[in-house]
Amino acid sequence: MEQLRHQHITSDMARRWLASVITKEREKIENLKLLHRFDSRDPADDNRHDQATADAWAKVNADGLHGATSDEPLVSLNLDIIRDDLSSEARQNIIQRDFKALTGHPQLSAFERAKLVSLLIAGKSAAWNRHEEALADIETAADDLWDRASQLLTPEPEAPAAPLQLVPAPEVEADTLDPDMHAVVSRMNDMKRSEGIEEKTLRQYESFAGLFTTLTGIRDVRQIRQTDATGFRAALYKLPKSWGKSPADRNATREEIMARAAKLPPEKVGLSIGTINRHLEHLGQIIEWASDEGIAVNSKLKPGKLPRKDTVRDCDKKQAFTEAELHRLFKSPAWTGSKSEHHQTDPGTNIYRNGVYWSPLVGAFTGARREEIAGLAPADIVERDGIPCLSIEDSEMRRIKNISSKRLVPIHSSLITLGFLDFVEAARAKGQAELFPDLREPATGKHGRKLGRRMRQIVDKTFGTEGAGLSFHSLRHYVQGMLEHVPEVTDKVLRDIVGHEGKDTHERTYSKPTPPAVLQAAIERLPALI
């Protein structure tokens, strides 16, 4: 144990860490088993997943963080999740934070963190694989593991340590990472990008960082106080409503922004409450991330206390198509006959079955997002359990919004009757990389924006001013609204169809995807529209 003292982690600290890991993991397992007992539809499958988790922790404990994978698919999946998590910068920062909270130890070296990770793995493996023994005495369990686990705590390879001095160890500066807000956002975005968060969302964080530093003059997150956050919120009410829509806005000074706002009529000044609250949420996430990294942000800074209550419900802001409106929409020229493919919104004699024709139909029968549909490839139409489905996941042409967006969505029988699968086969026969090449913008390679503009033209010509609140996204709200009122369609099934995150930690972590046959039964409850 002398080596531990030289590294400033005493054996008592390490043992307390091990006991804490076991205690927390046992509590999680107990909660999980309680949920299985009262909320399980397939106990045998739940047990299979639990055993795979236990086997994965045992394998990591035996083979190390970068050991061999497993021949069992479910164990292999758990291994990937565990190894990705323990290798991540975010997890290293959490270990630093939790160990400091437990022991008061100021800062860990990389080698010390590796030691604690070894103990964490040993503790979690014990909690999962000795759970049936109840581990009634946590202290005894920690002692039992200590003899085996402590051999991992070999000295850091360096010059021989000086004799132990009975004087306090010097404080280590905690802020080893760049506290500049743009640097914090860059590191946070790197992690979110690896988790599959779409670039559009990451750009919002970058845009926020630019706006915050412009309006407050503060770049160092350690210098932000609650009064600065309050002042930032006040400034957002004075910005032009159109701020951020012009590339020139990114380089404007605070004085230039406010001078521009002063020339506008009152109704064109002030961001919406929803947008302001989103900016405050971004600030909170960035501050929390910096804190997890060990950066000494102000403890009294609480951006979460600043959002204002919106007087308009979210469901009232986002207009959904009605079934009658969709019947009317699909009687417009794009689906009944157009002048030409270029003038697809003008009446004519030819029907052009391209992206403009198919994408709104797919949206109305799946609830998929605009970019998810516009960026489809022929290879994304697959068959699972004999059911034709859209496979929505990251590809070279488009990224999905988040990990929950990865899913299978069965293809409605109306689309099949209209010839959608034949259209897909024709695209495959031609060797097309894109299912809807007419929707791609040559300059950017993106697909969704052109579809959005064409949908706007169709809606305006079909509904006039009555359709001002309708857009492609209104198709998604239509599907959600229709299915949430069908008693046989559970919340879980609806979330799996539209790609929403689970309602709680248990569902997000352990719930399995709904089988295609169940999804298909739900999708078929959507009425025929054309």
pLDDT over 50 at 259, yes or no: yes
- Distance CA(347)–CA(496), nearest Å, equals 38
- Cα-to-chain-centroid distance, residue 105: 32
Continuous segment of H or E residues that includes residue 410:
strand 407-410
pLDDT band at 116 (very low <50, low <70, confident <90, very high): confident
When pLDDT is averaged across residues 102-117 and rounded to a whole number, the result is 80
Q: What is residue 139's predicted lDDT score, i.e. its pLDDT?
A: 44
pLDDT at 447 over 70: yes
Spell out the domain ranges in the chain. 11-148, 181-305, 323-524
Res 315 pLDDT > 60: no
Comparing CA positions, the residue from 142, 125, 152, 150 lying closest to residue 19 is 142
Q: Strand 387-392: give its sheet, edge to edge.
A: 381-384, 387-392, 407-410
Non-local CB neighbours of 41 within 8 Å, separated by 6+ positions: none
Tell me which H or E stretch contains 387: strand 387-392
Identify the pLDDT of residue 40. 54
The CATH architecture that domain 323-524 belongs to is: Orthogonal Bundle (1.10)
What is the per-residue pLDDT for 470? 92
**Cβ-contact 70, 59 below 8 angstroms:** yes
Q: Please check the confidence at residue 256 and state whether its pLDDT lies above 70.
A: yes
Average pLDDT for the chain: 80
Token pair 């051999």 is found at 151
DSSP conformational letter for 343: T
Q: Which of 131-140, 424-433, 498-507 has the highest mean pLDDT?
A: 424-433
Mean pLDDT of the region 175-200: 81
Determine the Cα–Cα distance for residues 354 and 114; give it in Å rounded to an integer: 55
